[in-house]
Amino acid sequence: MSDSAPHLRLGTCDYPEHVPEDRWAAYARGQRELGLTFVRVAEFAWSRMEPRPGEYDWAWLDRAVEAYHAQGLRVVLCTPTATPPAWLIRAHPDILPHDAQGRVREFGSRRHYDFASPVFREHSRRITRALAERYGEHPAVAGWQTDNEFGCHGTARSYGGASAAAFPGWLRQKYGTLDALNEAWGNVFWSMEYGDWEEIRPPALTVTEPNPSHVLDYARFSSDLIRDFQAEQVALLRELSPGRFVTHNFMIFESGFDHYAVARGLDFVTWDNYPTGMLEFFAPPGVGEALKTRYARTGHPDLVGFNHDLYRGLLKGHGGWEAETGKTQPHTPGFWVMEQQCGQVNWAPANPLPADGAVGLWTAQAWAHGADVVSYFRWRAATMAQEVMHSGLLRHDETPDRGHAEVAGLDLGSFPLGEVPARVALLHDYESLWLYDQQPHSAALSYWAQTVAYYSALRSLGVDVDVVSADADLGGYAVAVAPAVTLVPPERAARWQAAVEGDGLRLVCGPRTAFRTPGGQTWAQGQFGRLSELVGARLLNYDSLRPGLEQAVGGGYAAQFWAESYRLAGAQATHRYQGGPLDGQPAVIRHGPVTVIGAHSEALIRDVLRDVLEQAGVATSDLPDGLRLSRRAGVTLVQNWTGENVAWGGRTLGPVSFEVRAEG
Residues annotated catalytic, as ranges:
149, 339
Minimum CB distance to Zn ion smaller for 150 or for 641: 150
Q: Which residues contact 503 (CB under 8 A, 6 or more apart)?
A: 474, 475
* Given 375, 446, 527, 630, the residue binding its own copies (CB under 8 A): 527
Nearest CA to 509 out of 423, 605, 432, 624 is that of: 605
Is 172 in contact with 155 (CB distance < 8 Å)?
no
615 makes contact with its own copies (CB under 8 A)? no
Would the annotation count 351 as a binding residue?
A: no
∠ CA 427-222-128, rounded to 5°: 105
The response to whether 110 counts as a known ligand-binding position is: yes
Name which of residues 199 to 258 contact its own copies (CB under 8 A). Answer: 199, 201, 203-214
**Which residue number, 371 or 534, has a Cβ lying nearer to its own copies?**
534
Q: Which one of residues 31, 117, 128, 155 is an interface residue with its own copies (CB under 8 A)?
A: 155
Distance CA 143, CA 162 (A): 31
The binder of 159, among Zn ion, its own copies, none, by C-beta within 5 to 8 A per type, is: none
48 forms part of the interface with its own copies (CB under 8 A): yes
Residues that bind Zn ion (CB under 5 A): 339
Contact call for residues 393 and 404 (beta carbons, < 8 A): yes
Is residue 194 within 8 A of residue 200, CB to CB? The reply is yes
Minimum CB separation of residue 23 from its own copies in Å reads: 10
**Among residues 66, 133, 193, 503, which is the contact residue for its own copies, using CB under 8 A?**
193
E strands in 255-329: 269-273, 320-322, 327-329
Q: What are phi and psi of 269, to 5 degrees?
A: -105, 145
In whole angstroms, what is the distance from residue 525 CA to residue 510 CA? 19
- Maximal C-alpha separation, the chain: 75
CA–CA distance, 71 with 30 (Å, rounded to integer): 9
Distance set, CA 446 to CA 187, 255, 292, 442, 488 (Å): 26, 12, 18, 8, 18
DSSP for residue 568: E
- Give the residue, chosen from 195, 242, 330, 650, that forms a contact with its own copies under the rule CB under 8 A: 195
Stretch that binds its own copies, among 247-255, 302-310, 447-455, 543-551 (CB under 8 A): 543-551
Question: At its nearest, how many Å lie between Zn ion and the CB of residue 298?
Answer: 20
Contact of residue 521 among Zn ion, its own copies, none (CB under 5-8 Å per partner type): its own copies
Q: Is residue 460 near its own copies by the rule CB under 8 A?
A: no
Nearest to 362 by CA among 294, 307, 301: 301
Considering CB under 8 A, how many residues would be counted as binding its own copies? 123
Task: Rank residues 251 and 487 by Cβ distance to Zn ion and give the closer one.
Answer: 251
Terminus-to-terminus CA distance in the chain, angstroms? 30
From the list its own copies, Zn ion, none, pick the one residue 619 interacts with, judged by a Cβ distance below 5 to 8 Å according to partner type: none
Output the smallest distance, CB 54 to its own copies, in A.
13
527 binds, among Zn ion, its own copies, none (CB under 5 to 8 A by kind): its own copies
379 vs 436 by CB, closer to Zn ion: 379
Rounded distance between C-alpha atoms, residue 414 and residue 167, angstroms:
51
Which of 71/439 has CB closer to Zn ion?
A: 439
Q: Say whether 148 counts as a known binding-site residue.
A: yes
3-state secondary structure of 558: strand
Out of 101, 327, 330, 662, the only residue in the binding site for its own copies (CB under 8 A) is 101
Q: How far is the CB of 206 from its own copies (least distance, A)?
A: 4
Site for its own copies in 302-361 (CB under 8 A): 344, 346, 349-356
Which residues 380-399 are close enough to bind its own copies by CB under 8 A?
382-389, 395-397, 399
> Does residue 190 belong to the site contacting its own copies (CB under 8 A)?
yes
Cβ-based neighbour number of residue 56 at 10 Å: 15
Q: Which does 541 bind (CB under 5 to 8 A by kind): Zn ion, its own copies, none?
A: its own copies
Amino acid in position 601: S
Backbone angles phi, psi at 203, to 5 degrees: -80, 70
Annotated binding site: 110, 148, 347
Annotated binding site for substrate: 110, 148, 347
